[in-house]
Amino acid sequence: MPTPYLHPTLILTLPNEAATAQLGKALAALVCAGDLVRLLGPMGVGKTTLIQHLLRGLGWHEAVPSPTYTLLQTYRTARFNVAHVDCYRLTSPAELAPLGLEEYRQFGVVLAEWPDRGGPLLAALGPHEGDLLGYHINSIENPGVLSITLAGEGAGPRTVVLAGSPSWQRRFGLLPGLGITSNLPLTRGRNDAQRRAFLDGLGLQDYQLQPQSGDWSGRSYVRVTLADGTTRMLMDSPPPIETVTEYVQVADYYRSIGLVAANIYGMDATEGYLLTDDFGDRTLWHAMGAKGPDDGPPIPQTPWFDVAAQALVRQVQSPPPAWGRHYGRTDWYVEGVRLVNWYVPFATGQACSMADYARWQQLIMPLYALVDATPRGLMQWDCQAPNSMMLGAEPTLANYALIDIQDARIAPVAQDVGLLVRNIRTMRYDADEEAVIRVLVKDLGLDEPTLRRAIAVGAWHHMVRILGGLTRLAVRDGRPGPAQAYLRRTWQVAEQCANDPYAKEALADAWAFMQPYRDAGLQKIAAMKDRA
């Protein structure tokens, strides 16, 4: 849906080199492995200077010579392997072939000056092209293409035009938080005045707002108590990083197949506001933390996991909607490389070698087939106990509601099962896992060993993704709190999966690759403080 915050191009003004340095640092915070950054403009306009500041933002503090005569300079920064190529003196794009840029285009970041002379490998595409994936939940980590055109003379100011592929257009929404302003609105703020303007526009009066604890996304939630004492939940999802239209689509579909999802009472798709049912505070997560008799350890919630399994069966047995987004091998790859993009560099202080990137790809990609051996449906994706609401005392589908559903995609059921039964926010409850497996085997007619192996591999892959995501929150966003709370538990679940008898052989090499980085990363995270 069109939004005033999603722009194919931006125009910036850099009055001095300090502003250039700030832009370089901001871009360093946003690039991801697989990105191509194209720099255009006449000689002397500052392309190499901007690259120098971008590299410093990635942790490179040594010299950054121009590759005009050497064609290529490479850097193993604290975050990524970077190739800086200058095509000015090329007589043919074929001259790039011996340089190994294809490897950097896949596993590193390519910064290209005079890229139009470099042929298809360094080409710009249209505003709706250039991303590795057409859609991905982690859209700002979906590799893409950014073209930067600089103009100006001498020591005067520079005009910069940023033209981005779709993932970069979403990343532009993070620029204001990094100190960069543009000629166009890039996102909106979050405050009660704007929320009240939305609610007032729905005709509501005499209501009260109560902010709720947030998650790790860009969304926030506010409980709205109406004049008659009933409540609604306001989802505040500032575009372009977040949207609300997908939530409405998924909720409508889930209700149509007999599952409980929130009704919608008002939506502003442009500004990212959604007013929905309030399902209360009783989640499966909270129930699992309830103490047993005589203040004993928490007890499993097996009857509710039976119901959760029934919901998964319903999703698999129902024809998926035509608009459903399909999860595939490339999604699996983008999520899996989070470990080597974020956690490993953080633990070691430098980017993974290109050989290690290639090795990690070789290890994780064959595992996808093991998970994809289970049937598909429009799965919730973030299927975990905190997003499973218990609406009544009796464990039935009518009392079981799904929230945080906006990222649902057509995917193997084992992925959702893995996150549900092996979750970093909950203790290990084998009885609950057995309940889910029992229902799926019976109702879907699945081969039990195949399912068990798929669940373990899918859960392990989720842990790999989360290890990288928690590290990104700490390093890029200055929010180490979630990592300090859950990083160690994430490793524990990953180890549980790696030692699962049904998946141990399949995961042995990948586990051996990642395990040596565990302790260093945990120690560094423990010492971090929130960025002021």
Cα separation of 186 and 170, whole Å? 9
Cβ proximity of 156 and 134 under 8 Å: no
CATH of 9-178 among 1.10.1060.10, 3.40.50.720, 3.30.1490.20, 3.40.50.300: 3.40.50.300
Per-residue pLDDT of the chain (532 residues; tens, 9 = 90+): 457 888 999 999 999 999 999 999 999 999 999 999 999 999 999 999 999 999 999 999 999 988 888 899 999 999 999 999 999 999 999 999 999 899 999 999 999 999 999 999 998 876 556 666 665 455 667 889 999 999 998 889 999 999 999 889 989 999 998 999 988 999 998 899 999 999 999 999 999 999 997 667 778 999 999 999 999 999 999 988 888 999 999 999 999 999 999 999 999 999 999 999 999 999 988 777 666 666 777 777 889 999 999 999 999 999 999 999 999 998 999 899 999 999 999 999 999 999 999 999 999 999 999 999 999 999 999 999 889 999 999 999 999 999 999 999 999 999 999 999 998 988 888 889 999 999 999 999 999 999 999 999 999 999 999 999 999 999 988 899 999 999 999 999 999 999 999 999 999 999 999 999 999 999 999 999 877 5
- Fold (topology level) of 284-527: Aminoglycoside 3'-phosphotransferase; Chain: A, domain 2 (3.90.1200)
Cβ proximity of 223 and 231 under 8 Å: yes
Over residues 59-76, the pLDDT tens digits come to 999 999 888 888 999 999
pLDDT computed for residue 107 by the predictor? 93
Q: What is the torsional sign of CA 63, 64, 69, 73?
A: positive
Cα separation of 189 and 41, whole Å? 34
Asked, as a colleague might, if the bond just before 449 is cis with ω within 30 of 0, I would say: no
pLDDT computed for residue 136 by the predictor? 47
pLDDT computed for residue 477 by the predictor? 86
Segments making up each domain of the chain, as ranges: 9-178, 192-277, 284-527
Cβ proximity of 513 and 359 under 8 Å: yes
Residue 113's φ and ψ, nearest 5 degrees, are -95, 145
Q: Which helix (H) or strand (E) holds 83?
A: strand 81-86
Q: Which helix (H) or strand (E) holds 378?
A: strand 376-379
* Whole-Å CA distances, 2 to 6, 239, 240, 270, 503: 8, 11, 10, 7, 44
pLDDT computed for residue 359 by the predictor? 97
pLDDT computed for residue 4 by the predictor? 87
Residue range 192-277, CATH number: 3.30.200.20
Burial tier of 441 (Cβ tally within 10 Å: 0-12, 13-18, 19+) = middle
Pairing type for strands 109-113 and 36-40 reads parallel
Spatial neighbors of 98 by CB under 8 A, at least 6 apart, are none
